[in-house]
Structure 1
């Protein structure tokens, strides 16, 4: 009986679990962005060594900005879909140009983690934010119209 009530409690808050995942992902991206800021030379060397097309200073700035701004936006649920979508090219580039040569099941498991983050970014680009977000608060307060499709 107690298991059923626990499962019912969890089921009634399913969207909150996705929100917690979004918050964690946002914090992780922001922290990774700060690591890149603190060690920009290493990021630049990685881009050069990986033969990333257009791997110049402009791309480096995009990666850092996407992680910092996108991370904060995901953390608080502000323009969640846009923040997640802005980070997809960064993670796709990391998969294709940086971690692919390591392969799956390498000791550091960088490719697996990068693929997981990429998957989560696609998920939040499609799903958007939930109740624990500025986006939800703005829609609920009437400040922003709901994102419902208009009837044809």
Structure 2
């Protein structure tokens, strides 16, 4: 718990508007990706088909889109950012793995790696000063 508090203190002391805008852009991207998965469910089924042999395909379909949408909204507002990102990590790691197990789509791989990198950054950095997390901590 002390490590998280120390990370939050450091992040709040070194917060910049550009980092907050990057967090918001990441959240909007994840939300839009979730919407695109819901509107084109067949595309999502095709994407997870290489790992569907392992099992849990229906669970994945019902986890990926809502996790992207809800997590994206939470990341945009900076509300429980680290928890929202933790929910995204298995999806993004799976997106990287799917590219190597199935047909290689270099564009999807680059997007997945970039998003995974940004999520890893915000997992440690937190939501920053311009966020709901910071606002609610001031109210206590």
TM-score over 0.5 (shorter chain): yes
Structure 2: gaps of 5 or more residues: 1-12
Cα offsets for 1:80-117 (capped at 9, x unmatched) = 000011001001000011x23527xx4xx221121010
Question: In the aligned structure 1, how far is the partner of 2:134 from the partner of 2:16?
Answer: 12
Residue 127 of structure 2 corresponds to: 129
Q: TM-score, normalised by structure 1?
A: 0.75
Question: In the aligned structure 2, how far is the partner of 1:92 from the partner of 1:13?
Answer: 29
Q: CA RMSD in A?
A: 1.8
Higher RCO (CA < 8 A, seq sep 6+)? 2
Question: In the aligned structure 2, how far is the partner of 1:17 from the partner of 1:139?
Answer: 22
Extract structure 1 runs of 4+ deviating beyond 4 A: none
Structure 1: gaps of 5 or more residues: 1-11, 143-152
Residue 74 of structure 1 corresponds to: 75
Residue 147 of structure 1 corresponds to: none
- Judging by fraction of residues, say which structure has more helix: 2
Alpha-carbon distance, 1:123 to partner: 1.1
Cα offsets for 1:42-62 (capped at 9, x unmatched) = 2112212x2343341111111
Q: How many residues align?
A: 125
Q: TM-score, normalised by structure 2?
A: 0.81
Which has the greater radius of gyration? 1
